[in-house]
Amino acid sequence: MGEFSTSERDGHILTVTINRPEVMNALHPAANAELAGTWDEFQNDPDLWVAIITGAGDRAFSAGNDLKHQASGGDMSGQPASGFAGLTARFDLDKPVIAAVNGVAMGGGFEIALSCDIIVASEQAVFALPEPRVGLAALAGGLQRLPRMIPLKQAMGMILTGRRVGAEEGKQLGFVTDVAPHAELMDRARSWAAQILECSPASVRASKQTVMRSLDIANLEESMKLGQYPAIGDLFRSPDFVEGPLAFAQKRPPQWKG
């Protein structure tokens, strides 16, 4: 139990909750640093294979940067190198992270969700990058990630106006994976996590690393050279590489080691 967030283990799943509902789960440097420590532990724990991040309460996933803290002269030192919520600049996390967006995801809150691999949104969720409306810019990855996920003209329509987009439109645009009734959001997110756990964790890590790193390589042939993805080698050396085909041949569920 942290001061600004909570975390709960359930088998191989870690659920992280931003716990500042009184400010719509907005984040200041101390909260970002605390969350960074949580993600460090997740990254380094071999028994944790999938994570879910959500926000406390029914109003907000995260309203982004705590502007009131900043405007009132609050301490702005101590921002973690891994970025907003300890996630937006964490480029070496090969384990999958699911964002369960339970309400407002504005600015940095939207950027947290965009840094995750899957976004499951409540029907009440609202997304926006409103920074230009307050003289700022979405510099925690929003300006880079959103145009990589949806068509450029649609991304620019959101970025240049700061307009709000609901969950269903977000799914139509392509940055939301799944939309759930509000009361069923966490069950739906856990269902996605359970489906991931049906797969080999070594395979999942290798797949995520290959996808994310290959996005930086424009040439298709070059992007398919496996030697540049260390997690592929880890997969080939993993017990899962033997267990998967063996379990299939024996018509039984695989016993993954990770």
Which listed residue (34, 41, 131, 198) is catalytic? 131
Contact in structure between 63 and 110 (CB atoms under 8 Å): no
The SS3 of residue 116 is coil
Give me the sign of the Cα torsion angle 171, 94, 85, 139: negative
Distance CA 90, CA 72 (A): 29
Chain centroid to CA 84: 11
pLDDT in tens, 95-110: 999 999 999 999 999 9
Q: Please say if the pLDDT value at position 241 is more than 90.
A: yes
pLDDT in tens, 76-134: 788 999 999 999 999 999 999 999 999 999 999 999 999 999 999 999 999 999 999 98
Clarify whether 222 is annotated catalytic.
no
Per-residue pLDDT, averaged over 135-153, amounts to 97
Provide the whole-model pTM.
0.96
Per-residue pLDDT, averaged over 23-31, amounts to 96
Q: Please say if the pLDDT value at position 240 is more than 90.
A: yes
Mean pLDDT of the chain: 96
pLDDT in tens, 176-228: 999 999 999 999 999 999 999 999 999 999 999 999 999 999 999 999 999 99
Residue 72, pLDDT score: 76
Which listed residue (34, 111, 184, 221) is catalytic? 111
Q: What percent of the chain has pLDDT over 90?
A: 93
88 phi, psi to nearest 5 deg? -70, -20
Clarify whether 111 is annotated catalytic.
yes
Per-residue pLDDT, averaged over 142-161, amounts to 98
CA of 49: how far to CAs of 23, 115, 117, in Å?
31, 17, 13
